[in-house]
Amino acid sequence: MSESSDRLQRRSAPKRLTADDWADAALAALAERGLAAVAVEPLAARLGTTKGSFYWHFANRDALVAAALARWEEVSTERIIRAMETAEPDPAARLGALLRGATLSVVDDPLEVRLLAAGDHPEVAAALARVTERRIGYLAHLFELLGFPAPEARHRGFFAYTSYLGHAQVAHAVPGAVPTDPAYLAAVTAALLKR
């Protein structure tokens, strides 16, 4: 076999899907149409594969939902926290960057709102509880680094997080109603830092 035909065969061979590919597709479907959209056949069609690929990675839909939620936790919380920790040494600047980034990204991504709406599902409820605690804990940590006593830092972390969630809800319920300009976001951060 020639080198060029070998390359052509490799290029035309279908990509082997990973469990993360399936989890990402499940999250995309969930963001578009809610938890009910996480179904094997439509996801297989979306990924251009068969149900056999799904069953190679998962025993059932519940296992896929659990994997998708774990992926969401990693990508939307842990990875962001690690990036903030390495990118910005100043806790006030880190807090501002985190709030700006999260607030702007949620306007275009309905996943958080869809997950909140599916909070009556046991797996989703458990993931929401873990993520909420982790995010509020991290925000409280930043406020502590800024000199706020632990109980007040926790309150401010909770306030910052619920402000973000409210922003997300309004952004998707009434598109265009939520200000996203830098001055507004700077004012929110300043209000959170005011002593």
pLDDT, tens digit, 9 for 90 and up, residues 66-86: 999 999 999 999 999 999 999
- Render pLDDT for 138-177 as a digit per residue (tens, 0 to 9): 999 999 999 999 999 999 999 999 999 999 999 999 988 8
CA distances to 100, 104, 159 from 153, in Å: 19, 24, 10
d(CA 164, CA 113): 11
pLDDT greater than 60 at residue 189: yes
d(CA 81, CA 34): 26
With cut-offs at 50, 70 and 90, classify the pLDDT of residue 185.
confident
Mean pLDDT over residues 118-142, rounded?
Answer: 97
Q: Residue 137 is which amino acid?
A: G
Name the CA radius of gyration of the chain, rounded. 20
What average pLDDT does the chain have? 91
How does DSSP classify residue 21?
H
What burial class does residue 73 get, using C-beta atoms within 10 Å of its C-beta: 0-12 exposed, 13-18 middle, 19+ buried?
middle
pLDDT greater than 80 at residue 178: yes
17 φ, ψ (degrees, to nearest 5): -75, 145
Whether the CB-CB separation of 41 and 53 falls below 8 Å is answered with no
- 137: its two tokens: 């804990």
d(CA 2, CA 13): 16
**What is the pLDDT, as a whole number, of residue 1?**
47
**What is the pLDDT, as a whole number, of residue 137?**
98
d(CA 42, CA 56): 17
Mean pLDDT over residues 25-31, rounded?
Answer: 97
**What is the pLDDT, as a whole number, of residue 175?**
86
The share of the chain scoring above pLDDT 90, in percent, equals 76
How does DSSP classify residue 14?
P
**What is the pLDDT, as a whole number, of residue 182?**
86
pLDDT greater than 70 at residue 97: yes
pLDDT greater than 70 at residue 107: yes
d(CA 43, CA 21): 10
Element (H, E) at 30: helix 19-33
Give the domains, in start order, of the chain with CATH numbers: 13-67 (1.10.10), 88-195 (no CATH)
With cut-offs at 50, 70 and 90, classify the pLDDT of residue 3.
low
Cβ neighbours of residue 36 under 8 Å, at least 6 residues apart? none
